Amino acid sequence: MPIADGDMDLISAPNAVYGFNYYNPTTVRASEGPAPFEMVPTPGAPLTGFGSLWPIRPDTMRDFLMDIAQRYGSALPPIIFTENGASFPEPDTTETEIRDSERIDYLRDHLGAVIEAKAAGVRIDGYTVSPSPHRGGPAVRAPVSVGRMVWFTLAWLAIWTVQLAPIQLLLPLQLDTQCGHWIDGVVWSRLVFCAGGLAGIIAVPMAGRFSDRPRSRFGRRRT
């Protein structure tokens, strides 16, 4: 693909943050197969529930962070952990507390590695833990209240009323209007339908705006 004038300026523009996903390192060795390398288990490393290619090595994460901070210096944007976590076997159903010590140890060790990297001068502004797959059956959610359904129904009634009222009210008037030529009727019909469409374009976003206020107790239901 050819490079046009100005492309390099766009490509080299600084980023506000550096999103970092980390789960495990990957160990490879030479291979005679279709690819020149193959992934192999990391010797001596404990494993997550995903198998032999998912070793637990928080030290390699720390070393990587320190390496890129030293390599790129002030050009490296602030780092935000967008994903980090692990999965371990859990029972499908249980009536007792699940002792999640392996995941706790994983997060403790990786947070410790983050602290060590920060102490070494790496700027890390955020850390997000990846959600673990839910394996205890479907999550139980509170039923939608009758009052919320009433408000939902009234909101949609208002939307369709505003959108279709101009057509329903003006279309009979347009049909009863004596026009000198059939083209005039087409023009008037177009104006009527355009008025209904414009009303819908204005009403629907406004209704959505006022029904999706996450900070209001009247906003969209969050699950």
Q: Is the pLDDT of residue 18 over 90?
A: yes
Position 2 in a domain: no
Considering its fold, how many domains does the chain have in total? 2
Q: Which of 127, 156, 176 is the last residue of a domain?
A: 127
Confirm if 107 and 85 have CB atoms less than 8 A apart: yes
Q: Residue 208's beta-bridge partner residues?
A: none
Within this chain, do residues 116 and 194 fall inside the same structural domain, yes or no?
Answer: no
Within this chain, do residues 15 and 109 fall inside the same structural domain, yes or no?
Answer: yes
Residue 136: the pLDDT is 44
Tens digit of each residue's pLDDT (9 = 90 or more) over 149-170: 788 788 877 777 766 666 666 6
pTM of the model: 0.56
Residue 137: the pLDDT is 45
> Which one-letter DSSP state was computed for residue 34?
S
Position 3 in a domain: no
Confirm if 79 and 123 have CB atoms less than 8 A apart: yes
Q: Which domain holds residue 207?
A: 146-211
Q: Which of 77, 94, 127 is the last residue of a domain?
A: 127
CA–chain centroid gap for 93, Å, is 29
Q: What is the mean pLDDT of residues 204-219?
A: 56
Within this chain, do residues 22 and 115 fall inside the same structural domain, yes or no?
Answer: yes
Confirm if 65 and 53 have CB atoms less than 8 A apart: no
